[in-house]
Amino acid sequence: MHRIPNFLKWLVGSLLAIAVLTGLMLLQNPKDSAPQYKLPGALNEISSTPNAIQVHNLLVEITDSKQQFVVGALLMDNGDKRSIAAIDPNVVVDLREFGLRDLRSASNQVSSGELVDALNVSAGLSIDGVLNLSEIGFGALLDSVGGVSLELTKNLKLPDAQTGNVRILPRGKSHLDGATAASYATYRQPGESASEQSVRFNPVLSKALDGLPSDPQKINSQLASLGQAGSSNLNDLDIAYFLANSRGKWAKAKVLTLATSPSHLAPSDKDSWLLLNTGAILSTLIDDERDALWTAGTERYRISIASRLPESRILARDLLNRGSIYFVDGGAASQSLHSHLIVTDSVPESLVQKLVDQLALPNLDTVVVAQISTGTDMQLDLGEDFIKPKQKGSSQ
C-alpha cells in the first residue's frame, strides 16, 4: 500500500483550515457578501406592525366636556416641508345621511374617521387621520412636557377647563401648568376668528408635540396614559411614527390659511357657519403642500354646486345624496337661464347622465375639461331651468 507523503497531508490540512475560516468570516459578517438595507431610524422601532401606514397629514382636534370640536389644527409633514393650518369648528361639512353639520356638532355625532372623510370631501384635502384630545387630555400632555412659558402684553380673562371659573392671567412673563395652558390655547374670545385664535393655540400645541419622546413606543405609552382623554382613528404605531419623526419641528412650521367665507346654507340659529373655499385652498396648498390635497378616486366624484338661491343648492344636494356623487358647496352664483355643468375627463358619461336624470335637467349644457379650478371633479351652476324649491330642504 502506498503511503501519502507528509507534505501532501500538510497541504490538504492547510486548505481545509482556510476554507473553514473563510466560511466563519462570511457567517459573522454577511454584509461583505450581500447588500443590506437599513430602515430609517424610527421605522426600525415600529416595523413589527405589518399594516403600518405612513401618515403625512394629521388633524389635531381639541374637544370640550361635551365632546364637541373646540379648536383644531391640520399638521402637514411632507419630508422637508412642515405646515400648520387652523381648522375652524364652524366649518360646515356634509355628513350625507346625517345632513349638513358644522364640525363643532359633527364631532360628537359621527366617528373620527367619518369626520375626517367629510372634511376631506368638503375642503378637497387628504387628511390621513385625527388625534382627538379633550381639553383635560391636552392639559395632561402639556404637563408631561413641563408646561408652557409665555409673555402677555395685557391681562387675559379665561374660563378654567375643569371648573368653569374665570381666572385672570397677568400681563408679563409667566409659566403656565398644563391645565392653564390648555385653557389659554383653546379659549376663543368673542369676535375672534380661528386664525386669530391660532396665534395662541399653535405655539402651545407645538410645545406639546415638540416635547414628545423620540421613541414611538414611549409616545404610545404617553398617549395611552391619557385614557379616554385622548384617541385616534389611526393605529397606535401609525400615529407614533408621525409624531416621533416630526417632533422638534413644529415651532418653525409654515403657517397656512384654509380660506373660508360665511355659509348661506346655515339654519337660522347657526349663522356662524363657514363655507370652505376649495379653489383658494387648492391654490394655497398646490405649491407648499401638494400631498395634503385630495386625490381623485374612481368611486367618489366631488361636485361643486353654485346657485343664486341657497335653497336650490340644498335641494340639489338632497337629490344627489346617494351613490358616488359627493356634494361640495360652491356658494352663490349669478342667475342664468340655463344650468351649466363642467366635468373633468375622468368622469364617466354614465355618471353625468345619472346626474342629469336625478336633477331633471335634460338640456343641461355640459363641457369636458382636463381640470377644474375648484379642484372638484364636476362644477354645476344652477340656472332658472332647475326646479325652484318652495322651502329649505330637510337636511338641516
24 and 100 assigned to the same domain: no
For residue 222, the model assigns a pLDDT of: 87
In terms of domains, do 153 and 281 share one?
A: yes
DSSP 190: T
**Tens-of-pLDDT digits for all 396 residues of the chain?**
445 455 444 444 555 455 444 444 444 444 333 333 233 333 333 334 445 578 999 999 999 988 999 999 999 998 788 999 999 999 999 999 899 999 999 998 999 999 999 999 999 999 999 999 999 999 999 999 999 998 888 888 887 656 667 888 889 998 999 999 999 999 888 889 999 999 999 999 999 999 999 998 898 888 888 888 888 888 878 888 899 999 999 999 999 999 999 999 988 777 789 999 999 999 999 988 999 999 877 689 999 999 999 999 999 999 998 789 999 999 999 888 999 999 999 999 999 999 999 999 999 999 999 999 999 999 999 999 997 544 444 444
Q: How far apart are CA 318 and CA 386, in angstroms?
A: 14
Q: Where are the alpha helices (DSSP H) in 32-96?
A: 41-46
What pLDDT does residue 13 have? 55
Question: Roughly how many angstroms between the first and final C-alpha of the chain, as a whole number?
Answer: 107
Domain shared by 165 and 77, yes or no? yes
Q: 106 is written with which cell numbers?
A: 359633527
- Do 257 and 339 share a domain, yes or no? no
Domain membership of residue 370 as a residue range: 301-381
Do residues 327 and 253 both lie within one domain? Answer: no
User: Could you give the CA distance from residue 229 to residue 135 in angstroms, rounded to a whole number?
Assistant: 8
- The burial of 360, by beta-carbon neighbours within 10 Å (0-12 exposed, 13-18 middle, 19 or more buried), is given as exposed
* Residue 287: inside a domain: yes
> Strand 100-102 and strand 92-94: pairing?
antiparallel
Cell of 340: 351649466
Rg (the chain; Cα; Å): 29
288/306 same-domain check: no
Kind plus residue range of the DSSP H or E element containing 149: strand 148-152
Q: Are residues 184 and 265 in the same domain?
A: yes
DSSP letter for each residue of 334-357: ---SS-EEEEETTS-HHHHHHHHH
Evaluate whether residue 52 is within a structural domain.
no
Q: Which residues of 29-53 are buried (b: 16+ CB within 10 A; e: fewer)?
A: eeeeeeeeeeeeebbebbeeeeebe
CATH code (residue 363): 3.30.70
* Domain-located, residue 321: yes
So what's the pLDDT on residue 27? 44
Q: Do 338 and 191 fall within a single domain? A: no
Same domain? For 201 and 274 the reply is yes
Number of domains in the chain: 3
Instruction: Report yes or no on 387 lying in a domain.
Output: no
Q: Are residues 83 and 167 in the same domain?
A: yes
Contacts of 372 (CB under 8 A, 6+ apart): 304, 342, 344, 378, 379
Tens-place pLDDT, residues 180-205: 999 999 988 888 999 999 999 999 99
Residue 66 lies in a domain: yes
91 and 239: one domain? yes
